[in-house]
Amino acid sequence: MAWIYGPKTFAAFAILFGGLWLIRRLSSGFDHFLQARRVDEGLRPFFTSLADTGMKIALILMVASTIGIATTSFIAIFSAIAFSVGLALQGSLGNFASGVLILLFRPFKVGDYLSVADKAGKVTEIQIFSTILTTATGKKIIIPNGKITEAPIEKIAEHSEVQAEITLLLQANSSLEKVQLAVQEAVTRCPHALPGRNIDIKVAGITRDDMKTSMAVWTLGQHYEDTLNHFYEALRDSFATAGIELAKERRKDVV
């Protein structure tokens, strides 16, 4: 038995210790490679650990095969376990895969204003399974990453110029000249409005009873919510001073 299994055992131990040394070197090199490629700090340890674990599993199978242990049954067991776990956690794995894609391709970053379906807020944290938004009132909205990658999202980046737009239904007989003057006066009272930018005022539709009017002021992405709130307040006061009234009933058909 010593003559038969001795050389195999010696070779198995040599492969084991040599393989562990090589895996440590490869894992360290892979980690430096990810750092050089500026992979997200939340993903880099995961990828390094995944590569390290995969190489160690392959090493164990190689050592078992060298000794003479049949590895077919081990591979079958691992495959069955992986299949069962995948079925049980398919929703979580989908969110995990979406989180990896978000952290890799960075369609948005922390600090951006994000609107997903009917939820909106500033991105405060991007986790591997979910993204956390914070509203202006301090509420936290936790959105699974799978929902973000499946549906259209609206992003307002920090330090980017964006329009804070408001659409109102005014009385059909409202004077457009008065509306323009009132909007211009309201913009002057918005603290985060960008100076020197044109104020957009458009009539998007009109009926017998009301007129759908959109008005927008330019601001920076990080001030979008504050500008929108100030704009609403300033428009209310300006319209009241100018005698401009909102439509009492919401229109149904636009001509």
3-state SS, residue 41: coil
Radius of gyration of the chain (CA): 31
Positive or negative torsion for Cα 80, 84, 85, 87: positive
pLDDT per residue, tens digit, the chain (255 aa), is: 666 667 777 888 888 888 889 989 998 998 888 888 777 666 677 778 878 888 888 888 888 888 777 667 667 777 777 766 666 556 667 777 888 788 778 888 888 888 887 888 888 888 878 888 988 788 899 988 888 888 788 888 888 889 889 999 898 888 888 988 999 899 888 888 888 888 888 888 888 888 899 999 999 988 888 888 899 999 999 998 888 888 875 545 444
Residue 233: its H or E element: helix 224-242
Residue spans of the domains in the chain: they are: 2-88, 105-156, 161-242
CATH class of residue range 105-156: mainly beta
Report whether 241 contacts 179 (CB < 8 A): no
Do 105-156 and 161-242 agree at the fold level? no
User: Phi/psi class of residue 17: alpha, beta or left (left: φ > 0; alpha: ψ in -120 to 50)?
Assistant: alpha
- CATH code for the part of the protein at 161-242: 3.30.70.100
Report pLDDT for 136. 78
In this structure, what token pair is assigned to residue 206?
Answer: 């009109």
Q: Within 37-150, where are the H helices?
A: 44-67, 72-88, 90-105, 145-150
Domain 2-88 bears CATH identifier 3.40.190.10: no
β partners of residue 181: none
Report pLDDT for 250. 55
